[in-house]
Amino acid sequence: MTEENKEKPSHFIRDIIAADIAAGKHGGKVITRFPPEPNGYLHIGHAKSICLNYGMSKEFNGTFHLRFDDTNPTKEEVEYMESIKCDVKWLGADWKQNEFYASDYFEQMYEYAKDLIKADKAFVCDMTAEALRESRGTPTEPMKPSPNRNRSVEENLDLFERMRNGEFADGEKTLRAKIDLASPNMHMRDPAIYRIRREHHYRTGDKWCIYPMYDFAHPIEDAMEKITHSICTLEFEVHRPLYDWFIENLNIFPSRQYEFARLNLSYTVMSKRKLLTLVENKDVDGWDDPRMPTVSGMRRRGYTPEAIRNFCEIIGVTKFNSLTDVALLEHSVRDHLNKTSPRVMGVFNPVKVIIENYPEGNEESLDAVNNPEDESAGTRKVPFSRELYIEADDFMEEPPKKFFRLAPGQEVRLRWAYLITCTGVEKNADGSIKQIRCTYDPATRGGNTPDGRKVKGTIHWVSARHAVACEAHLYDRLFTVERPDADPAGRDFREFLNPSSLTKATVLVEPYVLEVAKPGYRCQFERIGYFCVDTRNSKPGKPVFNRTVALKDSWAKIAAK
RNA sequence: UGUCCGGUAGUGUAAUGGCAGCACUGCAGAUUCUGACUCUGCCUGUAGGGGUUCAAAUCCCUUCCGGACAACCA
> A315 and A9 in contact (C-beta within 8 Å)?
yes
Query: Backbone phi, then psi, for A318, in 5-degree steps?
Result: -135, -175
More confident site: A400 or A162 = A162
Burial class for A271, CB neighbours closer than 10 Å (0-12, 13-18, 19+)? middle
d(CA A471, CA A197): 48
pLDDT for the residue A76: 97
pLDDT for the residue A1: 27
DSSP string over A256-325: EEEEEPPP-BTT----HHHHHHHHHTTSSSSTT-TTS-BHHHHHHHT--HHHHHHHHHHH-B-SS---B-
The pLDDT tens digits of the residues spanning A356-403 come to 999 999 999 999 999 998 999 999 999 999 999 999 989 999 988 888
pLDDT for the residue A483: 47
pLDDT for the residue A6: 34
Nearest nucleotide to A556 (CA to C1') is B35
> Using the CB atom, is residue A140 less than 7 Å from strand B?
yes
More confident site: A430 or A491 = A430
pLDDT for the residue A271: 85
Residue A478 in this model has a pLDDT that exceeds 60: no
Q: DSSP character for A392? A: G
pLDDT for the residue A547: 76
* Residues 75-94 of A with CB within 7 A of strand B: 75
Query: Backbone phi, then psi, for A194, in 5-degree steps?
Result: -140, 140
Q: How many CB atoms lie within 10 A of CB A426?
A: 11
Residue A67 in this model has a pLDDT that exceeds 60: yes
Q: Long-range contact list for A88-92, CB < 8 A, 24+ apart?
A: A88/A34, A88/A42, A88/A50, A90/A295, A90/A299, A90/A305, A91/A47, A91/A50, A91/A51, A91/A54, A91/A295, A91/A305, A91/A308, A91/A309, A92/A54, A92/A305, A92/A309
pLDDT for the residue A327: 87
In strand B, which positions have an atom below 7 A from any protein CB? Answer: 1-8, 10-16, 23-27, 32-38, 66-74
Instruction: Assign A241 a pLDDT band (cuts: 50, 70, 90).
Output: very high
Percent of chain A with pLDDT over 70: 90
A272 carries an active-site annotation: yes
A471 carries an active-site annotation: no
> Using the CB atom, is residue A199 less than 7 Å from strand B?
no
Question: Which one is catalytic: A144, A262, A465, A494?
Answer: A262
The pLDDT tens digits of the residues spanning A275-285 come to 898 899 888 88
A280 carries an active-site annotation: no
pLDDT for the residue A114: 98
The pLDDT tens digits of the residues spanning A69-108 come to 999 999 999 999 999 999 999 999 999 999 999 999 999 9
Gap from A171 CA to B38 C1', in Å? 64
> Using the CB atom, is residue A275 less than 7 Å from strand B?
no
User: What mean pLDDT, rounded, does chain A reach?
Assistant: 89
Find the mean pLDDT for residues A178-188. Answer: 93
Rg (CA), chain A: 31
pLDDT for the residue A509: 93
> A504 and A472 in contact (C-beta within 8 Å)?
yes
Percent of chain A with pLDDT over 90: 70
pLDDT for the residue A45: 95
* Residues 304-323 of A with CB within 7 A of strand B: 314-323
pLDDT for the residue A60: 94
pLDDT for the residue A283: 83
d(CA A438, CA A421): 5
pTM of the model: 0.92
Amino acid found at A403: F
d(CA A35, CA A53): 10
Query: Backbone phi, then psi, for A474, in 5-degree steps?
Result: -100, 125
Of the candidates A76, A77, A74, A95, the one whose C-alpha atom is nearest the C-alpha of residue A85 is A95
> A554 and A479 in contact (C-beta within 8 Å)?
no
Instruction: Assign A558 a pLDDT band (cuts: 50, 70, 90).
Output: low
> A191 and A215 in contact (C-beta within 8 Å)?
yes
Gap from A52 CA to B72 C1', in Å? 32
Nearest nucleotide to A195 (CA to C1') is B72
> A386 and A336 in contact (C-beta within 8 Å)?
no
DSSP string over A171-222: TT-EEEE---TT-SSGGGSS-EEEEE----BTTTBTS-SEEE-HHHHHHHHH
> Using the CB atom, is residue A377 less than 7 Å from strand B?
no
Q: What CA dihedral angle connects A123, A124, A128 and A130, to 10 degrees?
A: 20
* Count of alpha carbons within 13 angstroms of residue A392, beta-carbon side: 9
pLDDT for the residue A2: 30
The pLDDT tens digits of the residues spanning A295-338 come to 999 999 899 999 999 999 999 999 998 999 888 998 999 899 98
d(CA A378, CA A28): 47
CA dist A257 to A18, A64, A199, A238, A390, Å? 15, 15, 30, 11, 58
More confident site: A535 or A53 = A53
> A525 and A451 in contact (C-beta within 8 Å)?
no
Residue A287 in this model has a pLDDT that exceeds 90: yes
Nearest nucleotide to A214 (CA to C1') is B74
- b/e map A522-554, b = 16+ CB within 10 Å: bbbbbbbbbbbbbbebbeeeebbbbbbbeeeee
CA dist A344 to A379, A527, A529, A535, Å? 11, 11, 11, 19
Find the mean pLDDT for residues A212-233. Answer: 97
The pLDDT tens digits of the residues spanning A420-469 come to 999 999 999 999 999 999 999 999 999 999 998 989 899 999 999 999 99
> Using the CB atom, is residue A68 less than 7 Å from strand B?
no
> Using the CB atom, is residue A98 less than 7 Å from strand B?
no
Instruction: Assign A548 a pLDDT band (cuts: 50, 70, 90).
Output: confident
> Using the CB atom, is residue A244 less than 7 Å from strand B?
no
ipTM above 0.85, yes or no: yes
> Using the CB atom, is residue A482 less than 7 Å from strand B?
no
* Residues 205-234 of A with CB within 7 A of strand B: 211-215, 217-218, 234
Of the candidates A262, A218, A261, A243, the one whose C-alpha atom is nearest the C-alpha of residue A109 is A218
Find the mean pLDDT for residues A15-44. Answer: 94
